[in-house]
Amino acid sequence: MEFVSDQKLSGLKMFLDASTSPFHAVGNAKALLLQNGFSEVSDHGSWVSRTSHNFFIRDGSIIAWIEKDDLPSENGFRIVGAHTDSPNLRLKPFQKQSSGAFEQLSIETYGSPLLNSWLDRDLGISGRVVVANDPFEEVLFSSSAPICRVPQLAIHLDRDINEKGLKLNAQTQLVPIWADSTPNAPTFNEWLASQLSSDPDEIISWDLMLHDVQPSEILGAQGEWLASGRVDNLVSCYAAISALCDIEISDLEATPLVCLFDHEEVGSVSSAGASGNFLSGAINRIMSDLSPESRATALENSLCASVDGAHATHPNYPERHDLNHFVRLNEGIVIKRNANQRYATDAVGEALAKKTCENSDIPHQVFSNRSDLSCGSTIGPTTAANLGVRTIDIGVPQLSMHSAREICGVKDQEYLKVFCQSFFTDC
């Protein structure tokens, strides 16, 4: 495969740039699904008269699936799971902080961001705001321009920073500035209300967060890498949704389902997270007219691919990797193994993942962490435990994981979409 054309990457780049919060990722996935003939079902209405192509949203999570009429229900599901959230800085509920010279934003960290990566970036604000409207209404908000910045201390005031390393206190040293302290400076609620063409008194609450406004970019001597915020894990979200949208219904032997969860970066325990009942509840409703026996058989015959970022071997820190499991950008799908079940792939799953890659003529690599370092995790193990479904953990290799700006290989994101298509129809 040649390096991927800019035109081919434009859909992913638009998705990355526009999905500045989990709520925006869900909104953009919804837009793609609607363009491709999917309809929304809700928690409140009946699902009995649903069509073949459906999706279901709960806060920052979305499930989409296709049902084929003449398919034996016992064939089960082919589930591709990913997550919509990324580590970042989030706005606290009460915003009134001033140094005397600057108006500042009260923030807390979400997940495990590389704190240094948030310094000296032009930052926007996005998320959802709840406004008063009999009794209230959720409004998506994303500032079109940069509004704040976390300025790093100048080297002249921190002379040995390059020798001693950078340590940041999240309460006192990551506090963004967003206005000069002048008598005319707006309060945060006044500013937000003006952005929403609303009244400050109508703003009740928010789930707001910061994002780097720099758009995604192709880089490298041959245009081989994609740099962006939220590569982990919106690259997987986009591949999964686009693969689902491109399915020919006649190719289906099982029910394809995509589940994009919020709250993976903080452990998945929430009503919309992978440890909650969001997915199992939806699957129960989809199978509501089956006998208990048929439901059990359907789950027994189902498979799940948990798709999430994987660590490429870092050229400057080879000692942080198990070099028997060398992972390169643009060298294909990474199959993740961990004996302690931080990843759900077992030997049978690894074989299935390799077969799926080989069937679609895409390369694969196998990752295993150094034995003396603690391993990351994904939605894979918790989804496998909740559903009792064989699950594989795979993903696209990347560098700078959990930085405000990460990079991955342009070929790999294309391989991932092909993998998802093959997983839905041939696995």
Q: How far is the CB of 74 from Zn ion (least distance, A)?
A: 33
Residue (83 or 295) nearer to Zn ion, CB: 83
Q: 299 vs 312, which CB is nearer to Zn ion?
A: 312
Find the part of the chain contacting Zn ion (CB under 5 A) among 109-117, 228-236, 279-287, 365-373.
228-236
The nearer residue to Zn ion, 73 or 88, going by C-beta atoms, is 88
The conformation of residue 265, written as its DSSP 8-state character, comes to G
Give residues 189-208 in contact with Zn ion (rule: CB under 5 A): none
C-alpha span between 420 and 14 (Å, rounded): 20
**Residue carrying structure tokens 């704190």:** 115
Question: In the complex with Zn ion, which residue's Cβ is closer, 391 or 425?
Answer: 391
Strand pairing report for 255-261 and 61-66: antiparallel
Distance of closest approach, residue 379 Cβ to Zn ion, in angstroms: 9
Stretch touching Zn ion by CB under 5 A, among 17-25, 68-76, 227-235, 278-286: 227-235
Question: Are residues 71 and 254 in contact, defined by beta-carbon separation less than 8 angstroms?
Answer: yes
Smaller CB distance to Zn ion: residue 28 or 233?
233
Site for Zn ion in 306-335 (CB under 5 A): 308-309
**DSSP notation for 289-343:** TS-HHHHHHHHHT-EEEEE--EEPPPTT-GGGS-GGG---TTS-EEEE--TTSSS
Of 95 and 233, nearer to Zn ion (C-beta) is: 233
Cα separation, 174 vs 97, whole angstroms: 13
Q: How far is the CB of 30 from Zn ion (least distance, A)?
A: 21
**DSSP run (H or E) holding 42:** none
Transcribe 128-160 into DSSP letters: EEEEESTTEEEEEEE-SS--BBBPPPPGGGSTT
| Shortest distance (Å) from residue 401 CB to Zn ion | 8
Asked if 419 and 333 count as a contact pair (C-beta separation under 8 A), the reply is yes
Rounded least distance, CB 286 to Zn ion, Å? 26
Of 321 and 336, CB closest to Zn ion: 336
> How many residues lie near Zn ion (CB under 5 A)?
4
The total number of residues shown for the chain amounts to 427
> Is 232 near Zn ion (CB under 5 A)?
yes
Q: What is the DSSP letter of 118?
A: G
Looking at 229-237, 250-258, 330-338, 359-367, which segment touches Zn ion (CB under 5 A)? 229-237
b/e burial code for range 12-45 (CB count within 10 A of at least 16 → b): bbebbbbbbbbbbbbbbbbebbeebebeebeeee
The CB-of-360 to Zn ion minimum distance in angstroms stands at 23
Instruction: Choose the binding region for Zn ion from 8-16, 116-124, 189-197, 233-241 (rule: CB under 5 A).
Output: 233-241
CB of 341 to Zn ion, least distance (A): 17
Helix axes 410-426, 6-18, angle to 10 degrees: 90
Q: Per CB under 5 A, which region of 89-97, 225-233, 311-319, 354-362 contacts Zn ion?
A: 225-233
Q: CB nearer to Zn ion: give 78 or 230.
A: 230
Strands 406-409 and 225-228 turn out to be antiparallel
CA distance 319 to 315: 10
Task: For residue 59, give both structure tokens.
Answer: 């806060």
Could you give the 3-state DSSP secondary structure of residue 287? Answer: coil
> Quick check: 86 binds Zn ion (CB under 5 A)?
no
From the list 21, 54, 233, 382, which residue makes contact with Zn ion (rule: CB under 5 A)?
A: 233
CB of 115 to Zn ion, least distance (A): 18
Among residues 27, 20, 23, the alpha carbon closest in space to that of 145 is found at 20
By CB under 5 A, residue 262 contacts Zn ion: no
Cβ distance to Zn ion smaller for residue 309 or 332 = 309
| Contact present, 129 and 137 (Cβ < 8 Å) | no
CB of 48 to Zn ion, least distance (A): 36
Judged by CB, which is closer to Zn ion: 3, or 367?
Answer: 367
- How near is the Cβ of 195 to Zn ion at its closest, in Å? 30
Return residues touching Zn ion (CB under 5 A).
232-233, 308-309
